[in-house]
């Protein structure tokens, strides 16, 4: 019997779903290398490889068989071949731009464990998709709003979430599309550098985001009376500012979002929140090419930085703070300080999920770690933080906790 790769689901799975991988038809205790690869939409290659030994029966099941030292990961890691994918081009991030097409995952089983693995024994392909059958993708151009709405299958009403990305501009759809697969009507909202939105906004007017809230609440398939907000980095900060000033916001999940205005100030009616000062000279060089910016921000709890702190004591929404303890862009202890302040004012509408070994980027499950990249404000190569194995566990846990939080409060 020739070796073969068995996958479950067989041909296609959602990107945030586990994939069961097994190999049949090997020799007893045969040593093999499992190599996975995928290309992003620009053609850049991501690869991982792991060393295994088949059982006495010639079978290899990643759910029961630990990877041996010497590959991209070791130990019992059934999803290691996905979360350990690394770009062949240094400092490149895996990004999905067109959620209507899947990523194509290639799997190969190669003989032996050498630096140059031996002959090819088996291969398979598998699609990692972003949209479940029946999920609808609706471009939204209503008033000033530039967005994409993802609706779960069916004619029911669904809890509504507005998903807001960090700095970088444009319209990012992967997280919103994946959330819709789980039963949420999710609006991926652009706020600059997209179509006719400002290229370089001087300030962010919360009235624009209020329009998006009203759009969601008037939609016949969005279950009121309020909406949820999910934001990463600057997007998390936007969500927190919305919770402090706008009505009809029930639950907010912030993924490593700053608790003060950064980079672009906020305005709402006659109120203005200036940006906190960042001192670039305080960046530390890790080596000749990489900087650590973790200590450049003024303290938003002391003057003069406290002018920039978002007044979250005014927020009536439930707040979920998802923080990476190894975040080198936004200090995780600022969220702890904020929650102590809220507690001192008798508030109980917050919870913190804090993950060791997790850096600034918190993506849905099985996106590879992006530990060193371009700093969102200074645009120089910076340490973002994180360690692959710990991060892969944090992704899975945070993703299920965020969904449970929205199910509870929406």
Q: Which of 219, 360, 375, 392 is an active site residue?
A: 360
Contact 102, 12 (CB under 8 A): yes
- Kindly tell me the burial class for residue 65, based on how many C-beta atoms sit within 10 Å of its own C-beta (0-12, 13-18, 19 or more): middle
Alpha-carbon torsion, ordered 330, 165, 46, 383, to 10 deg: -20
What are 340-343's contacts with CB under 8 Å, separation 24+? 341/301, 341/313, 342/312, 342/313
Q: Which of 13, 49, 172, 233 is an active site residue?
A: 233
Token reading at 138:
């609706």
- Sign of the alpha-carbon dihedral angle for 371, 373, 375, 378: positive
Active site annotation includes 126: no
Beta strands in 130-248 (DSSP E): 136-142, 145-151, 158-164, 185-189, 204-205, 222-232
> What distance in Å separates the CA atoms of residue 239 and residue 251, rounded to the nearest whole number?
10
Vertex 51: Cα angle to 47 and 52 (nearest 5): 130
Q: Which of 327, 328, 332, 363 is an active site residue?
A: 327
Contact 123, 111 (CB under 8 A): no
Active site annotation includes 72: no
Active site annotation includes 113: no
Question: Rounded to whole angstroms, what are the CA distances from 30 to 55, 112, 168, 256?
Answer: 8, 8, 47, 44
> What distance in Å separates the CA atoms of residue 309 and residue 321, rounded to the nearest whole number?
16
Active-site residues, by number, are 233, 327, 360
């Amino acid at each position: 019997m020739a070796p073969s790769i068995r996958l479950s689901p067989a041909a296609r799975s959602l990107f945030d779903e586990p994939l069961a991988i097994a190999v049949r038809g090997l020799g007893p205790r045969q040593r093999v290398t499992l190599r996975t690869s995928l290309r992003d939409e620009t053609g850049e290659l991501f690869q991982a490889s792991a060393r295994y030994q088949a059982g006495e029966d010639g079978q290899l099941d990643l759910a029961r068989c630990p990877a041996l030292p010497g590959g991209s990961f070791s130990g019992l890691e059934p999803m290691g071949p996905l979360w350990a994918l690394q770009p062949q081009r240094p400092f490149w991030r895996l990004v999905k731009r067109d959620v209507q097409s899947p990523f194509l995952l290639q799997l190969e089983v190669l003989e032996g464990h050498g630096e140059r693995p031996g002959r090819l024994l088996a291969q398979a392909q598998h699609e990692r998709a972003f949209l479940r059958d029946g999920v609808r993708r609706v471009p939204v151009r209503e008033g000033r709003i530039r967005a994409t709405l993802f609706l779960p299958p069916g004619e029911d009403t669904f809890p509504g979430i507005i998903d807001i990305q960090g700095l970088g501009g444009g319209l990012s759809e992967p997280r919103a599309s994946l959330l819709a697969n789980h039963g949420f009507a999710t609006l991926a909202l652009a706020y600059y550098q997209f179509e006719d939105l400002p290229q370089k906004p001087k300030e962010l007017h919360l009235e624009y985001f209020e329009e998006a809230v009203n759009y969601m609440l008037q939609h016949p398939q969005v279950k009121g009376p309020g909406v949820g907000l999910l934001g990463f980095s600057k997007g998390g900060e936007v969500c927190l500012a919305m919770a402090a000033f706008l009505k009809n916001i029930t639950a907010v999940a912030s993924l490593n979002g700053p608790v003060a205005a950064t980079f672009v100030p906020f305005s709402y009616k006659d109120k203005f929140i200036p940006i906190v000062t960042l001192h670039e000279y305080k960046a530390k060089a890790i080596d000749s090419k990489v900087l650590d910016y973790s200590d450049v921000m003024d303290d938003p709890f002391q003057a003069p930085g406290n002018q920039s702190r978002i007044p979250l004591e005014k927020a009536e929404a439930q707040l979920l703070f998802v923080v990476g303890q190894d975040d080198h862009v936004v200090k995780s202890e600022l969220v702890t300080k904020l929650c102590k302040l809220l507690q001192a004012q008798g508030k109980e509408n917050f919870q913190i999920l804090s993950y060791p070994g997790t850096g600034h980027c918190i993506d849905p499950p099985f996106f590879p770690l992006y530990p060193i990249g371009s700093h969102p404000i200074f645009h120089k190569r910076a340490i973002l933080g994180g360690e692959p194995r710990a991060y892969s566990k944090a992704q899975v846990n945070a993703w299920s906790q965020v969904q449970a939080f929205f199910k509870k409060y929406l």
